[in-house]
Amino acid sequence: MQGEVCRNLATLQFLAFCSKRRNFDRFTRWATLQTARLNIFLNRPKASKEVENLAKTWQSLMPPDGEEFFKVTEDTAYTEIYLHCPLRGSGDVDACYKLMNYDRKLMEKVGGQLVVLESQSNSGKPFCSLAIRKKRASIKDLIPAHEK
């Protein structure tokens, strides 16, 4: 398990490095998409139309750092990720948006959509705040961190 965590962190650090560089935008999009596809292929999560199940699926595809922080309402699941992000304190919320393409692609594949509400990159907090909704549900009331 410890080796898996080290590999996950190394991958995260590499993708964060790429996400901070405009010349790597296409590569970052491609790499986050391929990494998400690999996760889906290896774990074979089931698609869902229920917010609570989408949250559980997201948890099952992630390291165990957001599990106890879920709050599920009628249409939204909220969580905080306490994993120390390589972008923490960088002020580069655009790089965060590019990096989180991985998570958005995972949610798309299982019937949901994910919005980063607060980013460690610019919030000054030791966590990111996320919202998950069903794929076709409106997200107009959720303001993404990179648009604030």
Give residue 59's pLDDT.
86
Q: Report phi then psi at 112, rounded to 5.
A: -130, -175
Element (H, E) at 58: helix 51-61
- Based on its alpha-carbon atoms, the radius of gyration of the chain, rounded to whole angstroms, reads 14
Give residue 3's pLDDT.
44
Domains of the chain: 2-147 (3.30.1380)
The gap between the terminal CA atoms of the chain, to the nearest Å, is 37
106-125 per-position pLDDT tens digit: 999 999 999 999 999 999 99
Measured distance CA(90)–CA(110) in Å, rounded:
31
CA 1 and chain centroid, separation: 21
Give residue 2's pLDDT.
42
What is the pTM assigned to this prediction? 0.89
22-59 per-position pLDDT tens digit: 999 999 999 999 999 999 999 999 999 999 999 989 88
Give residue 7's pLDDT.
58
